[in-house]
Amino acid sequence: MDKLFLIAGLGADTRIYSNLDFSGFDVVPVKWIPTDGCVGLESYAHKLAEFYNITPNSIVIGNSLGAMLGVEIAKLIPLKKMILTSSIKTVYEAPTYFKLFINVPVYNIIPEKMFKSIDFLVELLFGEMEQRDTGLFLDMMRGWSTDFLKWGMTAALQWNNTIIPPNTYHINGDKDLVFPYKKVKDAIVIKGGTHIMIYDMPTEINAVLKKIFKDEIAPIVLPK
């Protein structure tokens, strides 16, 4: 039975995967651990891989910032499959607003009282969502410290990866406001998919994942 590691995005936890079908896999929900001085995603991915003993031929599925971490893990360890959802693979796919926030880190100048407003952070990190889903995402947000959230935002903005590891698959929605799909290359596009499509569009995501697991969809072809 293949080990399958699930990494959620910043501000979330692996409950975001709760509507997906991973029967037949040994599923390991990855929790975010203290950074302990890690500067960026590269060093944090190394720490995470060691902590969870992610071994060669494992499968990693990452969402949003969790997918960027998954790419870094796949650069360290030869994975059977690395599946990104609602994210980017390289710095070339970074949305335009990244450049603005790198030069003017707005989240660092937002008053602490406003930054701690959970409603504000949910919209910032996940985009718009149905009212029925807001409760879950509010609850997930309560487990995050302001310092860790700011660390994660800085690490994402400063991520400068140019390498696509072997056995990489990418799924993005055409309604994702956090990582617009038009900037993303070689992705499987989910029509109507938002930044939380792995939660609120499980039928469509399960169908794609099933094909990936059965090797009915080929991984991204790496440039020679």
What is the per-residue pLDDT across 66-102, written as a single tens digit (0 to 9) for each? 999 999 999 999 999 999 999 999 999 998 888 777 6
Residue 20 has pLDDT above 70, yes or no: yes
- How far, rounded to the nearest angstrom, does the alpha carbon of residue 97 sit from its chain's CA centroid? 18
What pLDDT sits at residue 202?
Answer: 96
Q: How does pLDDT run across 111-166, given as a tens digit for each residue?
A: 555 555 556 556 655 666 666 667 677 777 777 787 888 888 889 999 999 999 99
Residue 165's CB is within 10 A of a number of other CB atoms, namely: 21
Higher-confidence position of 177 and 17: 17
What is the structure's pLDDT at 140? 77
Residue 118 pLDDT: 52
What is the C-alpha separation between 66 and 70, in angstroms, rounded? 6
Q: Is the pLDDT of residue 200 over 80?
A: yes
**3 has pLDDT over 60:** yes
pLDDT at 44 > cutoff 90: yes
Strand order in the sheet with 168-173: 26-30, 3-7, 59-63, 81-85, 168-173, 188-190
CA proximity to 194, closest of 206, 207, 205, 209: 205
Q: How many residues does the chain have?
A: 224
pTM for this model (two decimals): 0.89
Mean pLDDT of the region 164-187? 94
CATH 3.40.50.1820 fits 3-213, yes or no: yes
With a cut of 60, say whether residue 5 has pLDDT above it. yes
